[in-house]
A = this chain, B = another copy of it.
Amino acid sequence: MIDLQKGRLGVDEAVERLRILPYEDLGFAKIDHQRQLRRGFPEVIFCPGKTVAQITAIIDRLAATGGTVLATRAGENIYDAVKNKYPQAEYNRTARTLVIRAVEEPQPVGLVVVISAGTADLPVAEEAAVTAELMGSRVERLFDVGVAGIHRLFDSWEVISKARSIVVAAGMEGALASVVGGLVACPVIAVPTSVGYGANFKGLAPLLTMLNSCATGVSVVNIDNGYGAGYTAALINRTGDDKNR
């Protein structure tokens, strides 16, 4: 609870709001408008399994609050369905993200570095980068630096060494997370991707690699979950600026 922690609200008052502040009930969905208050970022729309009508209805409700709207795994048809009504909407084809920015955007702070092992990992890496930026982080992208040509990584040493947190997106065997993790002193968020030959088993191989990393300080999110990686990296990055903690 961001505000809580800064002392603007007492704990009791917050718990009370936790009961009272209404979410918005659309029948098929209950929008958690209180999430910005409680967790520091509004509810995000994960599109798969939802109809276009459901998604646009949720977007309308979130946009009405004036906060940031983020839809992930959004097909281009979602963008087509909203771009007239929200001309300020931004669609990122690689990341498959739809964004409607809040009126008052924070100044980017700190540094999150997003690293990808190969070109095919870009959709996941880009989703992480978009998410971290939207949450107020300065982001540097470093793509296609897999361990088969590890000198490409060393060449970017300067930017890597300045990061407060790092996202590593890698498919195949995902070894890049261990190599990066062994070199840096900040937390590494590893996100396995489902890119690879048969025994990649849709991301299982890099998932296990990253969980078993011999380099400490590496923690892992779900396969292809660029959004979750970017979110966690941005949370960590924010810790460096939260002087009240």
* A residues neighboring B (CB under 8 Å): 1-2, 4-5, 11, 15, 18-19, 23, 27-30, 32, 34-35, 38-41, 43-44, 46, 48-50, 54, 110-111, 117-122, 143-152, 154-155, 157-158, 161-162, 164-165, 172-175, 178-179, 181-187, 189, 192, 194-225, 227-229, 231-232, 235-237, 239-240, 242, 245
Contact = CB atoms under 8 A, between A and B. Distances in A.
B194 A18 contact: no
Given A122-B28, A144-B28, A117 B150 contact: no
Given A120-B50, A240-B245, A200 B179 contact: no
Contacts of A23: 149, 151-152, 155
Contact of A1 (B4, B18, B161, B221): B161
B149 A182 contact: yes
How many copies altogether? Answer: 8
> Which of A35, A152, A204, A209 has the largest count of B CB atoms less than 10 A from its CB?
A209
B240 A185 contact: no
Given A19-B154, A150-B179, A209-B208, A194 B198 contact: yes
Given A28-B119, A209-B174, A216-B232, A149 B222 contact: no
Nearest to A170: B214
17 contacts: A1-B161, A1-B183, A1-B185, A23-B149, A30-B149, A46-B118, A148-B178, A149-B182, A179-B179, A194-B198, A205-B211, A209-B209, A216-B227, A218-B232, A219-B219, A237-B239, A239-B240
